[in-house]
Amino acid sequence: MELSEFPKNIRPYLIPKIEGHLEYRCLGCSKTHSIDNLLYTCPDCGGVLLIHDLDEKKKTRCPGRQWRRIFDYRRMTTIPALKGIFSFHELIAPVIPLDHILYLGEGHTPLVEANQGLQNRIGVPFAFKNEGQNPSASFKDRGMACALSYLNHLISKKKLKNVLAVCASTGDTSASAALYAAYLGETIRSAVLLPKGKVTPQQLSQPLGSGAMVLEIPGVFDDCMKVVEYLADHFPVALLNSKNAWRILGQESYAFEVAQALDYEMEGVVLIVPIGNAGNITAIISGFLKLFRYGMIATLPKIIGVQSHHANPVYRYYLEPQASKRIFKPVKVRPSVAQAAMIGNPVSMPRVIEMVEQYNQLSEKQKIFVVEVTEQAIMDHMLLANRNGHIACTQGGESLAGLVKALSQKKVSRKERAVLNATAHSLKFAGFQEMYFQGTFPPDFGVRPKKGLQNDPVSAGLNKRDPFSDPRKLITQKEYNVFIEKTALKIMDLLGMST
Ligand SMILES: *Cc1c(COP(=O)(O)O)cnc(C)c1O
Ligand SMILES: [Zn+2]
């Protein structure tokens, strides 16, 4: 829509001003650090960082109602930099000029209501937010768009050369990092570290296709992360893991979009989120806190984190009801179909601990819970969802299994409605579906296929009379017609529709 057609009181705000005073704040020692340097941990104490906007007070003087109108109208503009997560520019990273923003089509993923049959079966209204419809087919693109846009901005501001970006990954981070780095072309090179044999073939093909250097490391994700941390501490490399606080900022857009899609009415809304490295749940909590401070929402929604019993450090931590007695202990992970969340020592744990407290306090009651689900439940619920028209990955299945668990534990009531994070596209994890359908799951997963959820191709061939059986033989028109007719009849027979 043309600028002149927007309401008069919206026009001056449609194109965001480049302003804001952002700084890193350490969760360990509370010291602040300038964002002019790329920092991943606090140089004083090694703690993890978050980015705060010192100008927020100024902005929250504008009423929440006006902010909602600005963001709603902005979706009708045609400027590419404002089409994705940066339609919420003021809330994310107002210091980045629009011409340094990368937009590859991330964000504004659809909220897809479950059909009536599935809602009845689960017992509560719910929708999936399809993060698999992001450009690299997972939610990681939200954070990456922000981190790479800021890196792009720093490179041009400081005239940096030969920038090397690195990350460790359970698969999707590397796919996303490599995609955005590839878009920047000569400006930066990217290297991704993957645990050998622990990412799916689809996830491995993505960074390779984007031209990144892909380094396979023996061990699991937690081991790759240690190597990457060493690299970031000792060499001038840009770290693209969620330790990078810019990624958290970008991922907050998920919360903004959910609020916008529900007309900012959060009463009775429950968000269900799988937890791995805990960056995503950190960002979602942080995003809703921001909307609350800006007066854009009146209630903080309930948030349920979900972990598999094979990788459950966050669940275990919150088993202790008294905050002062909780002790965080990393766990040794076991094989999980929710492979993208198979993490025993989540980097963002200090962020979660701090923000959960703040969230519950502001809500004046407990609004954040963590539930645990089995590998079996994850697979069964993923397949159930997809048989009802969804495109959930195994982690999306984990969200649905988590909703069922939370309902059974009365953490969610039948009067609420849920928004489930389907964090990636089902195609990335097709191998797990194949193992389920063919009954070839290695025993360590503890998954037993249920007949009713399995599906295999059925041969509609005609064995001996198949005219294609001898490739050297020419087929006559008559033989071909017979083949078509017989095949059609056989199909009707297989479908139980023959007369
Ligand atoms: C990264 C990832 C997760 C876990 O998110 P965290 O931020 O690490 O907690 C879940 N699902 C998918 C598909 C992912 O790629
Ligand atoms: Zn510190």
Are the beta carbons of 168 and 227 closer than 8 angstroms? yes
By residue count, the chain amounts to 499
> What pLDDT does residue 365 have?
95
Q: Whose CA is closest to atom 14 on ligand 1?
A: 340
Ligand 1 atom closest to 274 (CA):
10
Tens digits of pLDDT across the chain (499 residues): 888 999 999 999 999 999 989 999 999 999 999 999 889 999 999 999 999 999 999 999 999 999 999 999 999 999 999 999 999 999 999 999 999 999 999 999 999 999 999 999 999 999 999 999 999 999 999 999 999 999 999 999 999 988 999 999 889 999 999 999 999 998 899 999 999 988 889 989 999 999 999 999 999 888 999 999 999 888 889 999 989 999 999 999 999 999 999 999 999 999 999 999 999 999 999 999 999 999 999 999 999 999 999 999 999 999 999 999 999 999 999 999 999 999 999 999 999 999 999 999 999 999 999 999 999 999 999 999 999 999 999 999 999 999 999 999 999 999 999 999 999 999 999 999 999 999 999 999 999 999 999 999 998 876 666 777 777 888 889 988 988 998 899 899 999 987 6
Ligand 1 close to Cβ of residue 163 (< 6 A): no
Ligand 1 atom closest to 172 (CA):
15
Q: Structure tokens of 29?
A: 């020692």
Q: Whose CA is closest to atom 4 on ligand 1?
A: 276
111-136+252-453 CATH fold:
Rossmann fold (3.40.50)
Q: Whose CA is closest to atom 1 on ligand 1?
A: 340
Can you give the residue ranges of every domain in the chain? Answer: 111-136+252-453, 139-246, 463-494
Ligand 1 close to Cβ of residue 279 (< 6 A): yes
Ligand nearest to the CA of 274: 1
Per-residue DSSP letters for 390-419? --B-HHHHHHHHHHHHHHHTTSS-TTSEEE
Q: Structure tokens of 476?
A: 């006559």
Three-state DSSP class for 389? coil
Ligand 1 centre to CA of 32 (Å) is 28
139-246 CATH fold:
Rossmann fold (3.40.50)
Ligand 2 centre to CA of 345 (Å) is 20
Ligand 1 close to Cβ of residue 274 (< 6 A): yes
Ligand 1 atom closest to 280 (CA):
7
Ligand nearest to the CA of 421: 1
Ligand 1 close to Cβ of residue 176 (< 6 A): no
**DSSP code for 194:** E
